[in-house]
């Protein structure tokens, strides 16, 4: 294990104190182990549960290393056979993806306007956008419910897509605005001199440069939309249109006094795999987006 | 000028949007198009009538549904599975109806939901479709529980009522008659406990949940007290009789007749205590009879209506499930055929034989085949004929939640009974005052 | 003159560009909040046949006598306070670890943000299972360590249920705080530490004299975000305890949701929303004030 030159260890390096180095190593080792166990253990337990036969799930002491005969795919097979679980996944994907696109498509121009075009009251607008980021969903659902009813959007994907896009707009605008502000202004000036109008310049020159930022915010928006619960619970009541979080939470057992932990565990795993993939591929972008969104705000 | 243009161009080349955005766009586009395809593929079918039922009972109903579909090939009765927590089922129906276009044509209702659903205008009035003669075939409590504001919104399917289970073997052995009053109940319990028959005398449901309200309705009736008068919306929780009822419940714990844990028990823990021979008396629903008959105490117990104070009468809380028709269904006639099928004697009998649930038609309590299997049915009819409803008011669930909070605090001893009931009455009045305005 | 018209055109374009976003904003934020304020002046429930009847501030008066409201507010405060405290603590630890350089740091970072990315409602179910009183792994481990003899009820006991909820929330959202603090850590110039080390300061001293003060702004920002989220916590509680046992874990948002969607008491629900909204705004104002006192010259990653 190499402890390379970082700020913390560089100071020890400047004062040669050999016994200090292993101490540091040990502390770091413990730290890493803590992070990994703390973050992974609950999720892995669920994965393990999802592959165990019922007898191995409901037993004391718990089975940590199941024998081959205690393993099964049944919970997954049931999940896709007894309920339209594939449909739930597709619903989630569709709603989250569309909401993401709308958030980007409406957020990017607004962010540009706030960054470059001197709109009166710009500061107030930015402050409002900022505060709005903080609103919990529960403050909005009553009013949104009426909007959904008034527009006759109940049990329509739009009833989720529009609120999700809206919930993601503030973050999108804040992050993209920062990116736009950091672009060299000369590019736009020269583009204007070459005869581009604002929209053309935006589409042809500015937007391409902000692709990384778009991807970053897009991924955050996708995760938020995938995970949302309260709107999905309220605005969609049709079984075939439910999204993953709600559908999973509503899995019922065939006996009144026990909760079907096997199928629920399988649903947990199957319903979060897309997100795990997103995190695996875009870890850096997520970290960037989170810090840009929060710190810039 | 030229230089700047060059910069722009080189920047472009360096960044190459297509390459970077392409995976994201392809991903998003694929994802968006799949559900659209699925929707397009779905085709037309015979009339489908949908109903939401908790998963456990949905499974039990499967044979009934099969029979129905065999007799009615033009109707496809689809049961959507709901979670087993009945509160959650109520919430699912509620949000479905609030949204407007309900995905359900039928509503499988607990008796206490009916006023709310009817008051909100989500159910069709069925009174024109059923004659009084037909209704007379059913238990009064079940029919009344389906009425709201003069209309009939729910046809009874299966019934339920609370009652007293007792260990007939011990009582006989120790020379006691089954208790008629609460004080007898206490006296016999203590005697049996002293003589070493059992650890506990009487167990009941004291957990903070709907079952607590149901149980309390019976005690209130026993003390000639009331909760809410559905006609005048008068609240009786802070009247002396009601406070006495609370004090009685509290005293069962204080005098060691009931275990302290009773304040956290729902039906199942109390049933287990009874079956394990740890208590002489139990307040519970009919489902216990079948299960207890297959346990070690088979043949050693009996049922009777709940006891009462001298001034009151024995109360049994009316429970039960039935079917209503959603107001905005596209298939009211088909839905009605389902309701009729479920309410008829043949179906109820078959279901009772299969599951042990209690039918809602009077005649079935003396049906030879049913009595052969469930010998307690004639006795049960006695109990269930006197069943009392929980207040059939539109805001029942809200009122019940208020009562549960304060009653639970009172029996757990964290609040004085007077104080608790005064607070409960005050909040209930605030709640109902609004409904008169 | 010409300059002026260019500016005007620019502004017009600016508004046009913002228009779609603005419409969504009004639909999703402005209208619902405004509507809640308006509706809170009416009584609209099952008792009024769901017709709105103007009753002024009566809904707010009712709130004072509503024991359940105060109970849920108290629960929310307890939940928020302890969640934030623990998250900050663990967040700092995780951020310090992730700030070090070691092999496989990328993988550890990925693992570190995983809990944050998973759906709360779904992971709430996982936690419910972990805290199951019969077969739960928490009881199994405690039994294995000899701390308890038989399984204890976690979610059926008021205090322990709250503890379980807080732990699940800490697991879920500590990564968020850690990521924000990490950005703060990375912005600290190394020479600060070097200078201090020459003076003979220990790493622990350094942590308190340099690290903590310098990441204070990030801490406040992270806490503000988390305060808003924790105060509105809904899905975790719904899924794990449903507010029980006996309302001991019912939070304000659960009560609001029940009032509206279960009791159909729309006017009163709106009043509850308004009060929650105002509490949030006050918190934002306080945090904003503190931030304005510190030197928030924080640059993000870019």
User: What CATH superfamily classification does B47-161+319-388 receive?
Assistant: Periplasmic binding protein-like II (3.40.190.10)
| Best CATH choice for the domain B163-318+393-436 from the list 3.40.50.300, 3.30.1950.10, 3.40.190.10, 3.40.1710.10 | 3.40.190.10
Strand B200-203 relative to strand B151-152, pairing = unpaired
Whole-angstrom distance between the N-terminal and C-terminal Cα of chain A? 38
pLDDT of residue B51: 94
Tell me, yes or no, whether A112 and A50 share the same domain: no
Strand B47-54 relative to strand B75-82, pairing = parallel
Total count of domains within chain A: 2
Which of B113, B104, B51 has its CA nearest to residue B81? B51
Angstrom distance (rounded) from CA A268 to CA A251: 11
Interface probe, candidates B398, B413, B424, B437, chain C, greatest C C-beta count within 10 A? B398
Q: Token pair of A76, please?
A: 């997954």
Residue A267 CB neighbours (<10 A): 27
Which pLDDT band, with edges at 50, 70 and 90, does A16 fall under? very low
A86, A271 contact by CB (below 8 A): no
Query: What are B204-227's pLDDT values in tens digits?
Result: 999 888 999 999 999 999 999 999
Angstrom distance (rounded) from CA B9 to CA B323: 71
Angstrom distance (rounded) from CA A294 to CA A282: 18
pLDDT of residue B190: 95
Interface contact B120-C65, CB threshold 8 A: no
Chain A, nearest residue to B96 by Cα: A237
Strand B200-203 relative to strand B279-284, pairing = parallel
Which pLDDT band, with edges at 50, 70 and 90, does B4 fall under? very low
Interface contact A35-C97, CB threshold 8 A: yes
Interface contact C234-A34, CB threshold 8 A: no
DSSP H helices in B201-266: 210-222, 240-254
Interface probe, candidates C24, C165, C278, chain A, greatest A C-beta count within 10 A? C24
Residue found by looking up tokens 């500061």 in the block: A123
Interface contact A190-B1, CB threshold 8 A: yes
Q: At what angle do helices C266-293 and A137-150 cross, to 10 degrees?
A: 130
* C48: contact with B, CB 8 A cutoff: yes
Residue C287 has pLDDT above 50, yes or no: yes
Residue B232 CB partners (closer than 8 Å, separation 6+): none
The H or E element spanning position A127 is: helix A122-133
pLDDT of residue B270: 92
Find the farthest-apart pair of alpha carbons in chain C and give their distance in angstroms, rounded.
Answer: 86
pLDDT of residue B14: 40
Query: In degrees rounded to 5, what are phi and psi of residue A135?
Result: -65, 125
Angstrom distance (rounded) from CA B341 to CA B64: 9
The nearest CA of chain A is from the CA of B382 a distance in Å of 28
Query: What mean pLDDT do residues A23-27 have?
Result: 83
Residue B418 has pLDDT above 70, yes or no: yes
Find the farthest-apart pair of alpha carbons in chain B and give their distance in angstroms, rounded.
Answer: 113
On the CB side of A242, CA atoms within 13 Å amount to: 25
> Tell me, what's the ipTM?
0.87
- Rg (chain C; Cα; Å): 24
* C131: contact with A, CB 8 A cutoff: no
Q: Which residues pair with B228 in a beta bridge?
A: B235
- Among the partner residues A134, A167, A245, nearest to C119 by beta-carbon distance: A245
Task: Reduce the secondary structure of B52-63 to three states and give it as a string.
Answer: EEEHHHHHHCHH
The nearest CA of chain C is from the CA of B74 a distance in Å of 35
Tell me, yes or no, whether A106 and A200 share the same domain: yes
Interface probe, candidates C47, C160, C243, chain B, greatest B C-beta count within 10 A? C47
Residue found by looking up tokens 């929707």 in the block: B39
pLDDT of residue A293: 63
Angstrom distance (rounded) from CA A36 to CA A30: 10
Residue found by looking up tokens 């029996």 in the block: B411
Does A281 fall in a domain? Answer: yes
Query: What are C51-69's pLDDT values in tens digits?
Result: 898 998 999 999 988 989 9
Which of B114, C32, C237, B91 has its CA nearest to residue A237? B91
Residue B3 has pLDDT above 90, yes or no: no
Angstrom distance (rounded) from CA B146 to CA A229: 34
Q: What are the E-state strand segments in chain C?
A: 42-43, 53-54
Instruction: Compute CA distances B272 → B265, B279, B296, C146, whole Å.
Output: 11, 10, 11, 28
Q: Token pair of A192, please?
A: 């204007």
Residue C59 CB partners (closer than 8 Å, separation 6+): C40, C41, C43, C267, C268, C270, C271
pLDDT of residue B398: 92
* B90: contact with C, CB 8 A cutoff: yes
Residue A13 has pLDDT above 50, yes or no: no
pLDDT of residue A259: 64
Collect all residues of chain C within an 8 Å Cβ-Cβ radius of residue B402: 68
Interface contact B208-C68, CB threshold 8 A: no
Query: What mean pLDDT do residues C189-216 have?
Result: 83
pLDDT of residue A258: 56
Residue C9 CB partners (closer than 8 Å, separation 6+): none
Mean pLDDT of chain B: 88
Q: For residue A185, what are the domain limits? A: 80-296
Chains that touch A (3 or more CB pairs under 8 A): B, C
C124, C236 contact by CB (below 8 A): yes
Q: Token pair of C83, please?
A: 């969640």
Tell me, yes or no, whether A61 and A149 share the same domain: no
Find the farthest-apart pair of alpha carbons in chain A and give their distance in angstroms, rounded.
Answer: 76
B266-286 core/surface letters (b: 16 or more CB in 10 A; e: else): bbebbbebbbebebbbbbbbb
Tell me, yes or no, whether A280 and A138 share the same domain: yes
Last residue of a domain, one of A50, A72, A94: A72
Chains that touch B (3 or more CB pairs under 8 A): A, C
Which of C40, C69, C37 has its CA nearest to residue C54? C40
Collect all residues of chain C within an 8 Å Cβ-Cβ radius of residue B90: 262
The nearest CA of chain A is from the CA of B357 a distance in Å of 14
Question: Taking a contact as any Cβ pair under 8 Å apart, which residues of chain C between 67 and 106 contact chain A?
Answer: 90, 93-94, 96-103, 106
Residue A17 has pLDDT above 60, yes or no: no
Instruction: Compute CA distances B218 → B163, B221, B429, whole Å.
Output: 9, 5, 21
Question: Taking a contact as any Cβ pair under 8 Å apart, which residues of chain B between 381 and 420 contact chain C?
Answer: 394-395, 397-398, 401-402, 404-406, 408
pLDDT of residue C169: 96
Q: Which domains does chain C have, with CATH numbers?
A: 66-293 (1.10.3720.10)
* B59: contact with A, CB 8 A cutoff: yes
Collect all residues of chain A within an 8 Å Cβ-Cβ radius of residue C276: 136, 138-139
Q: Where along chain B do its domains lie? A: 47-161+319-388, 163-318+393-436
On the 0-12 / 13-18 / 19+ scale of CB atoms within 10 A, B7 is: middle
Please check whether the two domains, B47-161+319-388 and B163-318+393-436, share a CATH topology: yes
B127-163 core/surface letters (b: 16 or more CB in 10 A; e: else): eeebeeeebebbbbbbbbbbbbeeebbbbbbbbbbbb
Angstrom distance (rounded) from CA A49 to CA A43: 10
Residue A3 CB partners (closer than 8 Å, separation 6+): A9, A21, A24, A25, A28, C100, C101, C102
* C29: contact with A, CB 8 A cutoff: yes
Tell me, yes or no, whether A30 and A159 share the same domain: no
Q: Which residues pair with A37 in a beta bridge?
A: none
The nearest CA of chain C is from the CA of B429 a distance in Å of 11
Tell me, yes or no, whether A37 and A105 share the same domain: no
DSSP H helices in C145-199: 158-186, 190-198
Chains that touch C (3 or more CB pairs under 8 A): A, B
Angstrom distance (rounded) from CA B97 to CA B95: 5
Angstrom distance (rounded) from CA B350 to CA B196: 43
- Rg (chain B; Cα; Å): 28
Interface contact A15-C24, CB threshold 8 A: no
Query: What mean pLDDT do residues B196-204 have?
Result: 93
The nearest CA of chain C is from the CA of A76 a distance in Å of 16
C159, C72 contact by CB (below 8 A): no
Which of C299, C298, C88, C86 has its CA nearest to residue C177? C88
C240, C164 contact by CB (below 8 A): yes
Interface contact C234-A229, CB threshold 8 A: yes
Query: What mean pLDDT do residues B294-313 have?
Result: 91
Angstrom distance (rounded) from CA B436 to CA C48: 7
Question: Taking a contact as any Cβ pair under 8 Å apart, which residues of chain B between 243 and 272 contact chain A?
Answer: 268
Q: Is C66 helix (H, G, I), strand (E, B) or coil?
A: coil
Residue B6 has pLDDT above 50, yes or no: yes
Please give the angle made by the CA atoms of A110, A116 and A120, to the nearest 5 degrees.
75
CA torsion sign, C146 to C148 to C151 to C154? negative
Q: At what angle do helices C105-117 and C67-99 cross, to 10 degrees?
A: 170
* Lowest mean pLDDT across B14-23, B230-239, B334-343, C130-139: B14-23
Residue C190 CB partners (closer than 8 Å, separation 6+): A7, A10
Whole-angstrom distance between the N-terminal and C-terminal Cα of chain B? 76
Which pLDDT band, with edges at 50, 70 and 90, does B182 fall under? very high
Tell me, yes or no, whether A138 and A105 share the same domain: yes
CA dihedral A270, A271, A275, A281 (to 10 degrees): 20
Which of A82, A124, A42 has its CA nearest to residue A247? A82
Residue B98 CB partners (closer than 8 Å, separation 6+): A145, A149, C261, C264
Which pLDDT band, with edges at 50, 70 and 90, does B358 fall under? very high
* A153: contact with C, CB 8 A cutoff: no
The nearest CA of chain A is from the CA of C223 a distance in Å of 11
Specify the higher pLDDT residue, C144 or A2.
C144
Q: Which residues pair with B303 in a beta bridge?
A: B165
pLDDT of residue B218: 95
Mean pLDDT of chain A: 83
The nearest CA of chain A is from the CA of C60 a distance in Å of 17
Chain A, nearest residue to B26 by Cα: A97
Question: Taking a contact as any Cβ pair under 8 Å apart, which residues of chain B between 12 and 41 contact chain A?
Answer: 12, 15, 17, 20-21, 24, 27-28, 31-32, 34-35, 38
Query: What are A46-70's pLDDT values in tens digits?
Result: 999 999 888 788 777 888 888 888 8
Whole-angstrom distance between the N-terminal and C-terminal Cα of chain C? 38
The nearest CA of chain B is from the CA of C120 a distance in Å of 19
Does A2 fall in a domain? Answer: no
Query: What mean pLDDT do residues A235-240 have?
Result: 87
């Amino acid at each position: 294990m190499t402890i390379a030159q970082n700020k913390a260890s560089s100071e020890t390096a400047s004062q040669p104190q050999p016994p200090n180095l292993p101490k540091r190593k040990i502390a770091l080792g413990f730290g890493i182990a803590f992070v990994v166990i703390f973050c992974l253990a609950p999720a892995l337990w669920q994965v393990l549960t999802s592959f165990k036969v019922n007898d191995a799930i409901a037993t004391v002491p718990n089975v940590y290393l199941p024998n081959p005969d205690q393993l099964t795919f049944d919970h997954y097979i049931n999940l896709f056979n007894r309920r339209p679980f594939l449909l739930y996944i597709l619903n989630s994907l569709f709603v989250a993806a569309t909401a993401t696109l709308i958030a980007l498509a409406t957020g990017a121009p607004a962010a540009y306007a706030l960054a470059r075009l001197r709109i009166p009251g710009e500061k107030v607008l930015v402050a409002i956008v900022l505060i709005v980021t903080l609103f919990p969903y529960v403050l909005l659902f009553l009013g949104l419910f009426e909007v959904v009813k008034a527009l006759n959007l109940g049990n329509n994907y739009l009833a989720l897509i529009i609120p999700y896009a809206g919930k993601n707009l503030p973050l999108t605008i804040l992050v993209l605005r920062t990116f736009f502000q950091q672009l060299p202004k000369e590019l736009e000036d020269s583009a204007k001199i070459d005869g581009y109008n604002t929209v053309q310049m935006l589409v042809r020159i500015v937007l391409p440069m902000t692709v990384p930022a778009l991807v970053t915010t897009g991924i955050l928006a996708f995760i938020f939309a995938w995970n949302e619960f309260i709107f999905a619970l309220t605005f969609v009541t049709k079984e075939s249109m439910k999204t993953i979080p709600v559908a999973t939470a509503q899995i019922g057992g065939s006996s009144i006094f026990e909760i079907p932990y096997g199928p629920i565990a399988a649903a947990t795993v199957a319903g979060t795999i897309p997100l795990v993939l997103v995190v695996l591929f875009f870890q850096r972008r997520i970290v960037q987006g989170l810090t840009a969104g929060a710190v810039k705000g | 000028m030229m230089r700047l243009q060059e910069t722009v161009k080189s920047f472009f080349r360096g960044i190459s949007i297509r390459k970077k955005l392409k995976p994201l766009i392809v991903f998003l586009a694929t994802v968006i198009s799949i559900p659209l395809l699925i929707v397009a593929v779905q085709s037309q079918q015979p009339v489908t009538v949908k109903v939401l039922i908790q998963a456990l009972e949905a499974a039990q109903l499967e044979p009934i549904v099969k029979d129905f579909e065999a007799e009615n090939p033009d109707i496809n009765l689809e049961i959507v599975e709901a979670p087993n927590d009945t509160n959650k089922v109520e919430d699912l129906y509620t949000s479905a109806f609030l949204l407007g276009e309900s995905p359900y044509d039928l509503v499988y209702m607990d008796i206490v939901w009916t006023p709310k659903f009817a008051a909100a205008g989500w159910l069709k009035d069925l009174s024109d479709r059923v004659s009084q003669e037909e209704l007379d075939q059913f238990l009064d409590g079940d029919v009344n529980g389906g009425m709201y504001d003069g209309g009939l919104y729910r046809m009874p399917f299966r019934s339920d009522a609370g009652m007293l289970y007792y260990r007939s073997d011990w009582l006989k052995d120790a020379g006691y008659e089954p208790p008629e009053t609460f004080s007898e109940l206490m006296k016999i319990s203590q005697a049996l406990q002293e003589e070493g028959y059992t650890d506990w005398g009487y167990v009941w449901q004291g957990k903070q949940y709907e079952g607590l309200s149901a149980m309390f309705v019976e005690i209130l009736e026993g003390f000639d007290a009331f909760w809410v008068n559905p006609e005048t919306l008068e609240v009786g929780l802070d009247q002396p009789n009601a406070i006495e009822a609370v004090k009685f419940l509290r005293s069962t714990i204080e005098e060691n007749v009931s275990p302290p844990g009773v304040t956290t028990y729902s039906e199942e823990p109390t049933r287990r205590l009874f079956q394990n021979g740890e208590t002489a008396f139990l307040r519970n629903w009919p489902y216990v009879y079948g299960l207890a008959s297959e346990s070690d105490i088979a043949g050693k117990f009996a049922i009777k209506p709940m006891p009462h104070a001298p001034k009151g009468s024995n109360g049994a809380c009316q429970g039960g499930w039935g079917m209503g028709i959603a107001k905005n269904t596209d298939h009211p006639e088909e839905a009605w055929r389902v309701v009729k099928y479920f309410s008829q004697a043949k179906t109820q009998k078959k279901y009772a034989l299969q599951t042990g649930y209690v039918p809602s038609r009077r005649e079935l309590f003396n049906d030879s085949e049913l009595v052969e299997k469930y010998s307690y049915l004639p006795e049960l009819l006695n109990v269930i004929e006197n069943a009392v409803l929980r207040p059939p008011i539109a805001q029942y669930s809200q009122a019940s939640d208020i009562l549960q909070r304060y009653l639970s605090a009172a029996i757990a001893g964290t609040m004085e009974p007077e104080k608790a009931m005064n607070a409960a009455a005050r909040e209930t009045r605030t709640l109902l005052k609004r409904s008169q305005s | 003159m010409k300059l002026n018209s260019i500016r005007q055109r620019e502004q017009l374009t600016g508004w046009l560009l913002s228009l779609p976003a603005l419409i969504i904003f009004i639909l999703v934020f402005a209208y619902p909040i405004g509507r809640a304020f308006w509706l809170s002046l009416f009584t609209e429930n099952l008792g009024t046949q769901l017709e709105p009847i103007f009753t002024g501030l009566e809904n707010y008066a009712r709130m004072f006598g509503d024991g359940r409201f105060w109970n849920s507010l108290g629960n929310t405060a307890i939940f928020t306070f302890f969640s934030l405290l623990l998250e900050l603590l663990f967040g700092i630890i995780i951020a310090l670890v992730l700030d070090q350089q070691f092999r496989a740091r990328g993988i550890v970072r990925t693992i570190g943000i995983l809990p944050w990315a998973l759906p709360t409602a779904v992971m709430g179910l996982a936690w419910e299972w972990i805290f199951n009183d019969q077969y739960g792994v928490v009881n199994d481990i405690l039994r294995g360590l000899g701390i308890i003899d038989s399984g204890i009820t976690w979610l059926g006991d008021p205090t322990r249920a709250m503890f379980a909820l807080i732990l699940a929330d800490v697991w879920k959202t500590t990564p968020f705080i850690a990521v924000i603090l990490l950005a703060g850590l990375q912005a600290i110039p190394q020479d600060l530490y070097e200078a201090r080390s020459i003076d003979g300061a220990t790493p622990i001293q350094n942590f308190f004299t340099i690290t903590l003060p310098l990441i204070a702004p990030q801490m406040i920002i992270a806490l503000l975000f988390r305060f808003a989220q924790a105060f509105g916590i809904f899905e975790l509680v719904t899924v794990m305890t449903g507010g029980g046992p006996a309302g001991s874990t019912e939070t304000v948002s659960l009560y609001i949701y029940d009032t509206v969607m279960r009791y159909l008491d729309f006017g009163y629900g709106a009043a509850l929303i308004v009060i929650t909204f105002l509490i949030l705004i006050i918190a934002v104002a306080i945090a904003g004030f503190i931030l304005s006192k510190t030197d928030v010259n924080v640059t993000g990653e870019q």
